[in-house]
Structure 1
């Protein structure tokens, strides 16, 4: 059973979510104050944190920053504010996902499941992402295809690492732009398609028969590489 820590001053929300999440084999631990939330993070050791932006004494961004100083626990941030800037700030501080209020509980469950699935696919202690025929070294920032080094540009490597770290997640062009913008401020929507095309070429991949990167028409791109055999 996954343990979820909710840090939100809305006690009613905590009660409703607690009952709902149990239907999906999840246990909710709730905290209505940042200090209590940080203490429960230490004592309860949750699998994921749901963190509201609007909190008493200090906002959720500061709490996220404090969590990231000592923990890599997945974080989903909630906010009643629809400002895109808030979402970007949260993601830059290390949040794994962002959900605006009000939301449907089933959508939150889907996001929790997705984030937990992604986190279980993160590199091991050796910093390696391993898939059938593909190995990505996140510490050396390099990759090997069928045992041979791949000559990738910085942008190509960053895109590959982004997709391979989140298998199954569909990234829209805007998602990719938000993730890679700090590397190349001139990156724009159409250039994402060009970047994907270049990366596919080096991976020996095609849009029609994808081995690693699949186009989800009308939505974006997703990583479909097969898990390496143990």
Structure 2
């Protein structure tokens, strides 16, 4: 068992990998549903909005999936600085880890450099690649929860992979990562319907705000 797999097994809810994968997958399904049902989104020039829509959907879907699971969590929207309208990112706190969702180009690639992620990586100094597994286990017992990245992506806005990665504290590399694509999770039909309904309820006003007005000053959706 590798470092990250052992950490998740020993310190996190056993359902967490499956629920994270399910949340991201549901977000992508809803994105394609939205594109198919909103004619304005089918214009080539509107493709530039897909990434923003996807990121917002991932945040909403993860919150709803974890809420239904009864796993204790906190999902916060963090600003990279104090300026008004500055870039925000989502940070998920669960038992055993601090997780930031981020889209990457491939299953093995490391996310683009970002200062807010670099700062969080300092939590991972406890994981030293030159120490034995026994030394890591002993040292970890008295450390804070590590910083993890939930990475996902694929070509043409399709979902090809979902992974959890443990980033190196000082370099743009992975200490360890595991793919969680298609990790099974038990979700009842009632829970699935509730998640879809909540996505509709929460995301409609967000989508309208993102799409804004068309050239005539009328709302496009």
User: What interval of TM-score do these two structures reach, taking the shorter chain for normalisation?
Assistant: under 0.3
Higher relative contact order, chain-length normalized (CA < 8 Å, sep 6+): 2
TM-score by length of 1: 0.25
Bigger proportion of residues as helix: 2
